[in-house]
């Protein structure tokens, strides 16, 4: 019995010990677990706990503003509203239906889509509309209050990038993607423009009540920096108007581009490509691109259509001024002649002879001049003004391969300009070891190498500014959200490549070519000294079935005033489809029209020669109800004549009417003192006629003439009438006929 008791006692002890060990093990496991939770994973679980009680509200930073040089905003931000639901808080299907009906009506969204989102009670945030207007937001709030839906329908303010001028400077300014800039300045300066978002954190207890302020965290958003650019909205508008005009007139197959620069500093005052696009709707093709896409006949939605659409989109976005290469043609002759004078291999008094072609060693047939019959005898200045290829080849041969290539490099043609825009292309050119006699000859007149419009204008601006190369730029200053300057552009010249004397001589030659009988006459502006050169080059990448180049690029580069340049400009017309494709016709007249507006805007007053003064237009005043003697006096003060019809003392009617413009030369106002009329005459068609003959014909018939295009139309062989405002119509004598004139004798 005692033995059994001992055994029972021993077993009980074992059980007790086992039980204690079990509980000790459990306790140890719990301790280890608590250690892991409380110590090792403290931060992780603390965050989870905070996430359960904390609510974060993002505070979005605003993107920096982009200004033109006069502090006019060209890229800014506007407030939009996001309307969203909290489906978890929607109380019933009936309430969901009320919400769907109301929001679909107010916001113009699909009822079924809203209803489906409202019934999805898994989420607390379902966006209904991202960019609601302020009016829509106000209507939503009224709807919420009326139906007691503040627990389920919410609005949230947001900012959207907005471009006040739409398509103006589109390729230069660029636009925004979802989170960053995708093009132009928006992309290049994205890190400056992008701000730092803030956050507002609040905490709630288990009952959903907001905890005291001590549990709140507020991290303020920091708005992005703003850019002050060198662009000038007025000059930009003037340039784009001319690019559109030449695009339409020339029917350019591969778009047109233009740049305006301060040649002294390299500041880009305007830059554009046409056709352009609306920065507020960058994924919508421009009209011309859309027509080309539609012309392909592809089924919308097909993979082929999507590929063609994307290709058209990228082409539309391409900044032709910095990303497209072309052969500069005869505008490069400014460089060749400048180098020749700088090295002393020729003088302005030297005479040359052009027979229409020149034999170059290493090339099978003679290399032709654009004037196939030849220029005959001409001096250095005339060779540049009339764009003589054989003279350029002669000068280049004297310069020599090595020196020519050294200057080619110094002017920047073998590198990028360094402009502060994305996508700048590097030119195509021969390496020095492959630069031989033939290459030297054709480079002299701007053929067989490729550059960009920004590179060409930068190089020519070196001649305009007295011989120093500069870096073109678009941003002059960057300011943070507090207004402090974080960056300021310091203008530095790269290298002195020409003497001021040579630059002054070349500028004078170019100006005399414009005001005289040079190939760039169409670039002239009455009252101003304009230095200009035109160019026409072949597109060698595209050939016809026989292997011949048949497409061209016409261009014109100019700077003014020629004796102290404040502005330089280039217009490049890629593949014009009009009958006349020369730069003197498709580019120079539009450079002229740009400068007509730009120079007065920049504060330069016109100084007319006696001949220019006589051919200026004046605006007719209102002389009705005036005494005849006073009216005649006022009319003659304008430099035009007055003709009185009738014997009365008071003017009863007049022709032309108030506000009409007529040329001072042969211009007259007919004053009627009674019920008489001057009678009507049929307006003849004078298009295609020499301007002098056309003007005389219309004046002799009793009409007044107003001139568009060139005004000094009698130089050389004379300008030609390419368009007239009215023809083949009976009009009263004294009526105004507007003639558009061009010099068509230039081929470069």
Q: Are 343 and 399 in contact (CB under 8 A)?
A: yes
Is the pLDDT at 649 greater than 70? The verdict is yes
Classify domain 329-607 by CATH architecture: 3-Layer(aba) Sandwich (3.40)
Is the pLDDT at 157 greater than 90? The verdict is no
> What is the average per-residue pLDDT within 496-521?
96
Is the pLDDT at 638 greater than 60? The verdict is yes
**What strands, in cross-sheet order, belong to the sheet with 653-655?**
641-645, 668-672, 653-655
Beta strands in 513-655 (DSSP E): 531-538, 552-560, 567-574, 617-619, 641-645, 653-655
**CATH of segment(s) 611-742:** 3.30.10.20
Q: Are 728 and 682 in contact (CB under 8 A)?
A: yes
Tens of pLDDT along 697-709?
999 999 999 999 8
* CA dihedral (88, 91, 96, 101) positive or negative: negative
Q: Rounded to 5, what percent of the chain is helix, strand, coil?
A: 35, 25, 40
The torsion angles phi and psi of 128, rounded to 5 degrees, stand at -100, -40
Q: pLDDT at position 55, please?
A: 55
Give the side-chain half-sphere CA count within 13 A for 627.
3
**Whole-Å CA distances, 736 to 83, 132, 683, 723:** 60, 53, 10, 14
> What is the average per-residue pLDDT within 572-598?
95
Q: Given pLDDT bands bounded at 50, 70 and 90, which one contains residue 514?
A: very high
> What is the average per-residue pLDDT within 391-413?
97
Q: How far apart are CA 295 and CA 313, in angstroms?
A: 15
> What is the average per-residue pLDDT within 468-495?
93
Is the pLDDT at 48 greater than 70? The verdict is no
- 97 alpha carbon, distance to own chain's centre: 49
> What average pLDDT does the chain have?
90
**Whole-Å CA distances, 627 to 494, 622, 632, 633:** 66, 12, 9, 10
Look at phi and psi of residue 690 and say left if phi exceeds 0, alpha if psi is from -120 to 50, else beta.
beta
237-251, 459-473, 610-624, 719-733: range with lowest mean pLDDT: 610-624
Is the pLDDT at 21 greater than 90? The verdict is no
Q: pLDDT at position 124, please?
A: 77
Q: How far apart are CA 473 and CA 265, in angstroms?
A: 9
In the chain, the percentage of residues whose pLDDT exceeds 70 is 92
Q: pLDDT at position 208, please?
A: 47
Is the pLDDT at 112 greater than 80? The verdict is yes
Is the pLDDT at 274 greater than 70? The verdict is yes
> What is the average per-residue pLDDT within 534-550?
87
Three-state DSSP class for residue 32: helix
Transcribe 596-629 into DSSP letters: HHHHHHTTPPP---HHHHHT-EEE----TTSBHH
Q: How far apart are CA 14 and CA 380, in angstroms?
A: 122
Q: pLDDT at position 471, please?
A: 96
Q: Are 314 and 323 in contact (CB under 8 A)?
A: no
Q: pLDDT at position 710, please?
A: 86
In the chain, the percentage of residues whose pLDDT exceeds 90 is 69
Tens of pLDDT along 410-422?
999 999 999 999 9
Q: How far apart are CA 585 and CA 523, in angstroms?
A: 9
Is the pLDDT at 1 greater than 70? The verdict is no
> What is the average per-residue pLDDT within 75-85?
89
| CATH classification number, 57-229, choose in 3.40.225.10, 3.90.1310.10, 3.40.50.300, 3.90.550.10 | 3.90.1310.10
> What is the average per-residue pLDDT within 79-108?
87
Exposure string for 225-245, b = 16+ CB within 10 A, e = fewer:
bbbbbbbbbbbbebbbebbbb
Is the pLDDT at 192 greater than 60? The verdict is yes
pTM: 0.86
C-beta atoms surrounding 377 within 10 Å: 10
Packing angle, helices 500-515 and 333-343, rounded to 10: 140
> What is the average per-residue pLDDT within 458-464?
98
Pairing of strands 704-709, 736-742: parallel
Q: Which range has the top average pLDDT, 146-155, 355-364, 409-418?
A: 409-418
Query: 103 CB contacts (<8 Å, ≥6 apart)?
Result: 83, 109, 114, 128, 129, 140, 143, 153
Task: Give helix then strand counts, H and E, for the chain.
Answer: 24, 31
Tens of pLDDT along 312-324?
999 999 999 999 9
C-beta atoms surrounding 598 within 10 Å: 24
Look at phi and psi of residue 527 and say left if phi exceeds 0, alpha if psi is from -120 to 50, else beta.
left
Q: pLDDT at position 2, please?
A: 60
DSSP 89: G
């Amino acid at each position: 019995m005692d033995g059994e008791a001992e055994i029972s006692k021993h077993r009980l002890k074992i059980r007790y010990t086992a039980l204690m060990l079990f509980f000790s093990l459990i306790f140890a496991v719990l301790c280890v677990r608590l250690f892991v939770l409380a110590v090792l994973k403290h931060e992780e679980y603390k965050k989870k706990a905070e996430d359960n009680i904390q609510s974060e509200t993002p505070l979005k930073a605003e993107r920096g503003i982009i200004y033109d040089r006069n502090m006019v905003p060209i890229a800014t931000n506007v407030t939009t509203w996001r309307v969203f639901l909290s489906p978890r808080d929607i109380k019933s299907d009936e309430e969901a239906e009320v919400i769907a009906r109301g929001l679909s009506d107010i916001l113009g969204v699909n009822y079924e889509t809203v209803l489906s989102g409202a019934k999805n009670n898994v989420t607390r945030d379902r966006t209904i509309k991202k960019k609601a207007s302020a009016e829509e937001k106000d209507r939503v709030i009224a709807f919420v209050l009326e139906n007691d839906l503040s627990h389920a329908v919410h609005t949230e303010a947001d900012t959207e990038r907005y471009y006040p001028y739409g398509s103006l400077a589109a390729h230069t300014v660029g636009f925004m993607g979802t989170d960053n800039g995708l093009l132009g300045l928006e992309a290049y300066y994205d890190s400056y423009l992008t701000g730092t978002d803030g956050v507002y954190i609040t905490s709630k207890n288990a009952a959903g009540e907001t905890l005291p302020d001590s549990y709140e965290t507020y991290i303020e958003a920091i708005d992005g920096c703003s850019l002050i650019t060198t662009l000038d909205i007025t000059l930009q508008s003037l340039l784009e108007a001319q690019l559109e005009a030449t695009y339409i007139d020339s029917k350019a197959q591969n778009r047109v581009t233009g740049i305006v620069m301060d040649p002294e500093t390299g500041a880009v005052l305007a830059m554009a490509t046409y056709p352009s696009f609306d920065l507020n709707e960058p994924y919508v093709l421009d009209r011309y691109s859309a027509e080309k896409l539609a012309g392909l006949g592809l089924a919308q939605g097909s993979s082929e259509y999507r590929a063609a659409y994307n290709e058209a989109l990228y082409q539309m976005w391409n900044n032709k001024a910095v990303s497209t290469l072309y052969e500069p043609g005869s505008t490069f002759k400014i460089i060749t002649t400048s180098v020749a004078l700088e090295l002393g291999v020729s003088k302005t008094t030297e005479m040359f002879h052009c027979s229409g072609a020149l034999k170059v060693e290493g090339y099978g047939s003679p290399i032709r001049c654009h004037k196939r019959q030849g220029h005959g005898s001409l001096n250095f200045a005339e060779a540049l003004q009339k764009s003589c290829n054989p003279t350029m080849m002669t000068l280049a041969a004297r310069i020599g391969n090595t020196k020519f290539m050294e200057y080619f490099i110094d002017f920047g043609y073998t590198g990028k300009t360094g402009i502060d825009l994305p996508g700048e292309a590097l030119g195509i050119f021969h390496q020095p070891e492959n630069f031989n006699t033939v290459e030297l000859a054709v480079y002299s007149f701007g053929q067989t190498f490729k550059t960009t419009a920004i590179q060409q204008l930068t190089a020519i601006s070196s001649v305009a500014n007295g011989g120093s190369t500069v870096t073109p730029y678009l941003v002059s200053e960057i300011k943070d959200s507090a207004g402090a300057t974080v960056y300021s552009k310091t203008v530095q010249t790269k290298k002195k490549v020409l003497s001021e004397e040579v630059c002054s001589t070349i500028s004078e030659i170019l100006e005399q070519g414009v005001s005289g009988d040079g190939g760039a006459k169409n670039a002239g502006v009455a009252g101003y000294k304009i230095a200009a050169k035109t160019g026409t080059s072949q597109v060698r990448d595209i050939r016809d079935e026989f292997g011949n180049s048949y497409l061209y690029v016409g261009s014109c580069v100019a700077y003014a005033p020629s004796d102290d340049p404040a502005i330089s400009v280039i217009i490049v017309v890629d593949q014009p489809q009009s009958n006349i494709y020369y730069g003197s016709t498709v580019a120079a007249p539009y450079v002229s029209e740009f400068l007509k507006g730009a120079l007065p805007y920049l504060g330069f007053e016109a100084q007319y020669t006696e001949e220019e003064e006589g051919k200026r237009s004046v605006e007719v005043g209102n002389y009705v109800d005036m005494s005849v003697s006073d009216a005649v006096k006022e009319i003659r003060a304008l430099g035009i004549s007055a003709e009185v019809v009738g014997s009365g003392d008071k003017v009863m009617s007049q022709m032309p009417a108030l506000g009409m413009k007529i040329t001072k030369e042969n211009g007259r106002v007919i004053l009627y003192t009674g019920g008489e009329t001057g009678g009507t005459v049929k307006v003849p068609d004078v298009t295609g006629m020499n301007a002098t003959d056309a003007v005389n014909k219309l004046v002799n018939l009793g009409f007044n003439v107003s001139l568009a295009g060139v005004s000094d139309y009698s130089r050389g062989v004379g300008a030609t009438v390419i368009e007239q405002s009215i023809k083949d119509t009976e009009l009263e004598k004294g009526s105004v006929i507007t003639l558009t004139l061009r010099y068509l004798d230039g081929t470069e």
